[in-house]
Structure 1
Amino acid sequence: MSRLLDVSDDVRAEIGDEEADRLLAGENAPGGYDCTSCRTPGDSAQERTSTVLFVGDETAVLAFAHAACLPSQVVQVAEDQLQGAVRSMTGSPDAPAGGGPQVAAPTQAVLGVTSGLLLIAGELHPALVVEPTGPISRPGAEPGGGDDFLPLLIEQGFMPVSELNEAPRVLPGWSVLLAMGQLHAVLQPGTGGTSSQVAWWQAHQALQVTDGWRAAANKTHTVLVLAAPVGSIGRQPREDLLRDALDKAAANGRLVAAAMPLAGT
């Protein structure tokens, strides 16, 4: 029985025409499935369904989602990060505990990510605040050559923020991936002119977000991503303290921001 599957060109290129055709014919596609985004049941025989391929160095995981939740796409991640995401998505008991989300950076610093709600111009915006644990150098730079974190992000299209009085503009090609109701990645455009995305930041273990954060994200379909160099924000236990730290970083010229579409729910 044929399925109402969306298989993007990028997914087809990864799995091959033969496998893609088998999926579309219903030979290898599930009838019922749990959407990898919203975690509610779906039926590829009755409703439009997206194929989402998570690709690591040696492992590829094909997931299914309501087309209304996620488009068909390829998400490229590091092998160890993919394994951690698979464990968290499947609920395996050997999933890594604690530690928080982080990804290796060129200087072996890691990116800490905090979620929170920001009030800007009278509207609540879901936000992610990114701060490395150490200075970030350009690839190939000499050790101790300074912190290039903000310049590197500005080159990617992030905008310097002097005060948080308006939402930043949308950064083309970037998005924030929610799967199974949890935060999994911040995605950036892939290389080589393809439409696939790669993980700029990938959670080792899926990051829980509050119901209020998810509701705001589903309302605006956009997430604000704010970034500051090491030592600018710190770990703040409350959103009001986080806002104060962000305002101070902005006033000191140590904050950049971008808005990104929400992928998933």
Structure 2
Amino acid sequence: MSPLLDVSDDVRAEIGDDEAERLLTGENAPDSYDCTSCRTPGNTRQERTSTVLFVGEETAVLAFAHASCIPSQVVSVSEEQLRGAVRSITGDGPAPAPEPDAVAGAQRPGVPRAGVPQPGAEGLEPAPGQAVLGVTCGQILIDAELHPAIVVEPTSPVLRPGSQGPGDDFLPLLIEAGFMPVTDVAGAPARLPGWSVLLAMGKLHAVLQSAPGDAQPTAWWQAHQPLPVTEGWRASASKHQTVFVYAAPAGSIGQQPREDLLREALEKAAASGLLVAAAMPLAGT
């Protein structure tokens, strides 16, 4: 009996027709696996299974996931993240340790790779002191249902390129990029075309934005190390396939240890006209 594998056109293009056929006939496909999305066991002979190809700068790793969790796809990650994924999949040594401040529930801010990433063509520049984007993960209740959310807040004011300040251009630049002002947290934000949230190997990796032409999406924010998320957050993201991304200027939200306190901080920021948001599809796992 051949395995119940899904191999997308993008995955086939990367691995080649011969390798794709060997997978589909069962020659190179495992019978059992741990789903790269929900991390629970799966069986290629008993349930539909997606092939997920993690591609780094130099190497690639093929993983498997329940088709009910995510579709077959190619996920671009950094070479460092890919090496950690290999260790996690093969059990060859420990995976990279999570950020010390990444805790269950509402994660405390992680640190982006370098400075402030670029939203839109005009971009952002950190004010003196090198602002970085803190990211907090939690679930938000809208219409009696929990949704996965990410809250982005710089550590200090953000200026336009060439601006000498004083001031903070973080929200105006995000609005120009397509984020919408939030006046009521009880409503779901509008979808922002071309942007997505990358969850790979069950951890938060990046917020991606579309690139000009047919180029691969680029990271607007990328975790220095992948941030763990709670089982509830991951299950909610898998269910909705959409993440609500909120953003506020420095000092508006703060580090909130509980989701109810995070909700209160968002409501206060919205009431003060200091909150923007966008709904983004879930990319990867």
Fold-level similarity (TM above 0.5) = yes
- The question of 1:103 aligning with 2:129 is answered no
Question: Which amino acid in structure 1 is aligned with residue 192 of structure 2?
Answer: L
Name the residue aligned to 1:162.
183
- Which of 134, 140, 144 pairs up with 1:112? 134
After superposition, the CA RMSD in angstroms is: 3.3
**Alpha-carbon distance change, 192 to 121 in structure 1, aligned in 2, over 3 angstroms:** same
**Alpha-carbon distance change, 170 to 189 in structure 1, aligned in 2, over 3 angstroms:** same
CA distance in 2, matches of 1:188, 1:58: 22
CA distance in 1, matches of 2:213, 2:280: 22
Name the residue aligned to 2:261.
241
**1:218-233 to 2 correspondences below 5 Å:** 220-233=240-253
* SS of corresponding position for 2:264: helix
* SS of corresponding position for 1:61: strand
**Alpha-carbon distance change, 242 to 161 in structure 1, aligned in 2, over 3 angstroms:** same
**Alpha-carbon distance change, 152 to 82 in structure 1, aligned in 2, over 3 angstroms:** farther
Contact 1:12 1:20 in 2 (8 A): yes
Structure 1 stretch 172-181 or stretch 229-238: which is displaced more?
Answer: 172-181
Question: Which amino acid in structure 2 is aligned with residue 125 of structure 1?
Answer: H
* SS of corresponding position for 2:254: coil
**1:1-265 to 2 correspondences below 5 Å:** 2-84=2-84, 86-87=86-87, 92-93=93-94, 95-99=96-100, 100=102, 101-104=110-113, 105-106=116-117, 107=126, 109-136=131-158, 141-142=161-162, 144=164, 147-179=168-200, 181-189=202-210, 192-193=213-214, 199-214=219-234, 216-217=236-237, 220-262=240-282
Structure 1 stretch 65-74 or stretch 217-226: which is displaced more?
Answer: 217-226
Cα deviation, 1:12-32, whole Å, max 9, x if unaligned, reads: 222233332332233322221
Cα deviation, 1:218-246, whole Å, max 9, x if unaligned, reads: 55454321112332211122333322321
Contact 1:174 1:261 in 2 (8 A): yes
* TM-score normalised per structure 1: 0.78
How far residue 3 of structure 1 moved from its aligned partner, in angstroms, is: 3.1
Structure 1 stretch 94-103 or stretch 143-152: which is displaced more?
Answer: 143-152
* SS of corresponding position for 2:214: coil
CA distance in 2, matches of 1:2, 1:215: 29
CA distance in 1, matches of 2:194, 2:3: 29
Question: Which amino acid in structure 1 is aligned with residue 49 of structure 2?
Answer: T
**Alpha-carbon distance change, 58 to 261 in structure 1, aligned in 2, over 3 angstroms:** same
Contact 1:88 1:205 in 2 (8 A): no
* SS of corresponding position for 2:175: helix
Contact 1:84 1:205 in 2 (8 A): no
Count of equivalent residues:
262
Contact 2:73 2:284 in 1 (8 A): no
Contact 1:114 1:128 in 2 (8 A): yes
* SS of corresponding position for 1:171: coil
**Alpha-carbon distance change, 128 to 181 in structure 1, aligned in 2, over 3 angstroms:** same
How far residue 161 of structure 1 moved from its aligned partner, in angstroms, is: 1.0
How far residue 65 of structure 1 moved from its aligned partner, in angstroms, is: 0.6
Contact 2:253 2:269 in 1 (8 A): yes
Structure 1 stretch 46-55 or stretch 11-20: which is displaced more?
Answer: 11-20
* SS of corresponding position for 1:223: strand
CA distance in 2, matches of 1:110, 1:193: 29
* SS of corresponding position for 1:45: coil
How far residue 206 of structure 1 moved from its aligned partner, in angstroms, is: 4.1
Identical positions, percent: 71
How far residue 131 of structure 1 moved from its aligned partner, in angstroms, is: 1.6
Structure 1 stretch 121-130 or stretch 242-251: which is displaced more?
Answer: 121-130
CA distance in 2, matches of 1:178, 1:19: 26
